[in-house]
Amino acid sequence: MLQPSPLRRRIFGLENEYGLIFSPNGRVYLPMEKVLGYIFEGLIPNSWPSNAFLVNGARFYQDTGCHPEYSTPECDNILDLVIHDKAGERLLEACLPAAEERLREEGLSGEIYIFKNNTDSLGNTYGCHENFLMRRDVDFWKVTEQLIPFFVTRQIYSGAGKVLKVSGKPQYFISQRAQHIHEKTSSSTTSSRSIINTRDEPHADAERYRRLHIIVGDSNMSEFVTYLKVGTATLVLSMIEEGYAVQGMEFEDPVKAIREVSRDPTLKRKIKLDDGRQMTAVEVQRVYLDRAQEYLAQQEHDPILDDVWQRWAMVLDKLEEDPMQLVREIDWVTKRHLIQSYVDKKGCGWDDPRVFLLDLQYHDVKRTRGLYYLMESRGLIERVVEEESVQRAMSTPPQTTRAKVRGDFIRFARAKNRSYTVDWTYLKLNGYWEETILCMDPFSAVNRRVDELVSQVAGLRFYR
């Protein structure tokens, strides 16, 4: 696996909220909280918490609107992040058989569907949040001003695609989240969703770090897209932190721009800048691409960032020539191709109800049912990580970050049948030697106090 330069380590994380549907065999109403409870049982046996950390260091909990949400453990390698994001899908998929069996025991037969997408049939949205640990000593507001044009236009390769009716007619959008963004920056993630969230929760030493919290992105099925969207964001963030500014790219109206870009799969629409110029989304991305090339040329060789830059350049070239060249890599392109092929085969229109079902089924995490995975099983999708690594990540945390300490602690406590309390920055074994152990360094995979505690509790068996 490609490794980042040790001088340029960064912590990343993804939070994905999932859509949940129970389709009963018959006319039965079942509160979604109960369905979600059975899914929780599959991940955290013998308990029904609303917030729990897992042995792989990740966090699984119920979010607003009864959505299951999976937060990856802290990763310092973008490929590790892709792996652990996919591990979240696999964990939820693995819970389905037992959850459906529990329903049958209560006389409620049916199927549970879990979708990795961002909107429901009523027009509500739920998010995919990206987290980047960033330096506290840089001016956060100057950084965000330079990042906003990047995030507005990044959707041309990170969008998940969506069929929506506009004035009664179906229209294909590049992004699912773009239509739900109302501000440039905001501290809220629900009432006034923004391009960049300003909530200052570093989950680390607050004097050294803060967290860049991005809530504008779509949830992605494509491993290639997850790798590229996080990789380009960290590359741009790193160059801005190091003083490689991107000047003069401010948009006249970023919120209007993000919606206009999403509504134009041809990628020809021009965005108006503050200085009166007009540029396409591809052209804006090329400004950042070129600046990133200048930055990388002056840095120690970093295999991952170099690879990200090369893929970024390739994708922009193909998007400009013909986006459909990226049918194996980019979610919105793959889905559009899939729907168009179906429409052509069936001789129906894009307003056919089956088209909207196809749109949703693309995001089904059950690999024998989801259209993305059916395509992947036929070799029609570009993968960037090995399935063996994804399976291992379901129970094993990253070995180079604080997540290892957390995961090992949870595994130990469960093996000893001990009550414990865990959060991102602390661990506590309840009862004997009850002590809160702070873990403020997300880069540290070792904690001396945890090692001592484990040794003490393990030694109890000699005195019983």
Q: 47 and 421 in contact (C-beta within 8 Å)? A: no
The Cα–Cα gap between 212 and 39 comes to 31
Catalytic choice (63, 76, 218, 364): 63
Which structural domains are found in the chain, ordered by start?
6-392 (3.30.590), 401-463 (no CATH)
What crossing angle do the helices spanning 78-105 and 32-43 adopt, rounded to 10°?
120
**DSSP character at residue 92:** H
CA distances from 51 to 31, 60, 126 (A): 19, 6, 18
Active site residue 63: yes
Could you tell me the two tokens for 433?
A: 């030697």
| SS3 label, residue 203 | coil
The Cα–Cα gap between 169 and 87 comes to 38
Query: What pLDDT sits at residue 464?
Result: 35
Query: Tens place of pLDDT for every residue, the chain, 464 residues?
Result: 676 655 478 999 999 999 999 888 877 777 788 888 888 887 776 554 445 899 999 999 887 767 899 999 999 999 999 999 999 999 999 999 999 998 888 888 889 999 999 998 778 889 899 999 999 999 999 999 999 999 999 999 999 999 999 999 999 999 999 999 988 887 766 667 888 989 889 999 999 999 999 999 999 999 999 999 999 999 999 999 999 999 999 999 999 999 999 999 999 999 999 999 999 999 999 999 999 999 999 999 999 999 999 999 999 999 999 999 999 999 999 999 999 999 999 999 999 999 999 999 999 999 999 999 999 999 999 999 999 999 999 999 999 999 999 999 999 888 888 888 999 999 998 876 677 899 999 999 999 988 887 777 665 443 33
